[in-house]
Amino acid sequence: MSKKTHFIVNPNSGGGSVGKNWDQLLKRIEDTIGKIEVTFTITKGHGSSIAFDLCEKGIEILVIIGGDGTISEVVDGIIRSKKSEVSIVVLNLGTGGDFSRTLGVPGDLNLALDKIKNGKIRKTDVGLVSYNSEKSGEFITRYFINIVGCGMAGAVVQTVNKSSKKFGGFSYYLGSIANILSYKNKSIKFRLDDGEWLERKVTSLAICNGQYFGGGMRVSPNSELSDGYLDAVVIGDWNLFQKVFYSKKFYNGTISNTPKVESYKCKKIEILPLDPNNSAIIDCDGEDIGKIPMTVEVITNAVTFLI
């Protein structure tokens, strides 16, 4: 490897399988590309600070072993470092792998490792979400790479993150089933690009850079990673029967043609609860981070991947 390269590894990825099998995985990697430098993430958010520090030290390529949450954290660290020339290679070993589906990351480890040397450059947009922390009350900004949303999707992510994730992507399906019966739809208002405010009672609202979330649910088939826009997908006031019956449309890519579903392209969206005491949970690239209100904006051509 001629360029300065460093691996950022989330040992909890894949339901903990990365950490449990690290010795074998490391051998496979080093047998293919030689000795590597590795830093493990320890806590939620650690990937961002690791990436920031490595960028400050002049690293040129960051290789991520982890899922969407780890990718999102590394992207956040790179952007905060203002080292946009740093390239990212993804080895998709996470629970959901939804962003990797849109990006086109190879499922084969050797093919993915080859991207370190021979990958083609792809610039992508990222999103910036601003919200108030439930714990501290402080105003927080965070970059994301795939999808941020609120509503039932946030409740599902919260359920999944409290589980062991031992069933991989299927964990999201189980989380959805657990919430279908109990989740109460939320009343919100939102506006696009400083336009008029729109009021809706929603099951979920997803603001998408990528196409997939929830372990393979294709919530935004028309999203493109480099078009300079986010796609806001509003899942309206579905009743219990509709939640069960229409859920299959997430997996076959036809959700846009489903009753009570609206899609908008925008560069900015603001979302407020109509009842501040009954706010929707925010999910950001597979992590439940707080509750609305929130504002989301697109940052164009912000990071570089090798694919």
Does this model's pTM top 0.85?
Answer: yes
**Whether residues 144 and 280 fall in one domain:** yes
**Whether residues 153 and 217 fall in one domain:** yes
Q: What is the 3-state secondary structure (H, E, C) of the chain?
A: CCCCEEEEECCCCCCCHHHHCHHHHHHHHHHHHCCCCEEECCCCCHHHHHHHHHHHCCCCEEEEEECHHHHHHHHHHHHHHCCCCCEEEEEECCCCCHHHHHHCCCCCHHHHHHHHHHCCEEEEEEEEEEEECCCCCCEEEEEECCEEEEEHHHHHHHHHHCCCCCCCCHHHHHHHHHHHCCCCCEEEEEEECCCCCEEEEECEEEEECCCEECCCEECCCCCCCCCCCEEEEEECCCCHHHHHHHCHHHHCCCHHHCCCEEEEEECEEEEEECCCCCCCEEEECCEEEEECCEEEEEEEEEEEEEC
**Whether residues 193 and 225 fall in one domain:** yes
Task: Please tell me the predicted confidence (pLDDT) of residue 22.
Answer: 96
Residue 102 counted as domain residue: yes
Task: Please tell me the predicted confidence (pLDDT) of residue 20.
Answer: 94
**Whether residues 196 and 233 fall in one domain:** yes
- Count structural domains, the chain: 2
Task: Please tell me the predicted confidence (pLDDT) of residue 247.
Answer: 85
Task: Please tell me the predicted confidence (pLDDT) of residue 260.
Answer: 96
**Whether residues 104 and 180 fall in one domain:** no
**Whether residues 19 and 108 fall in one domain:** yes
Task: State pLDDT tens for residues 201-228.
Answer: 999 999 999 999 888 889 999 999 999 9
Residue 43 counted as domain residue: yes
**Whether residues 110 and 254 fall in one domain:** no
Residue 306 counted as domain residue: no
Q: Which domain holds residue 77?
A: 5-124
Residue 307 counted as domain residue: no
Domain finish residue from 124, 159, 192: 124
**Whether residues 97 and 136 fall in one domain:** no
**Whether residues 269 and 222 fall in one domain:** yes
Domain finish residue from 77, 104, 124: 124
Domain finish residue from 66, 92, 124: 124
**Whether residues 69 and 201 fall in one domain:** no
Task: State pLDDT tens for residues 67-108.
Answer: 888 999 999 999 999 988 899 999 987 656 899 999 999 888
**Whether residues 204 and 168 fall in one domain:** yes
CATH number at residue 77: 3.40.50.10330
Task: Please tell me the predicted confidence (pLDDT) of residue 94.
Answer: 61
Q: Which residues of the chain have pLDDT under 50?
A: 164-168, 170-171, 175
**Whether residues 174 and 231 fall in one domain:** yes
CATH number at residue 163: 2.60.200.40
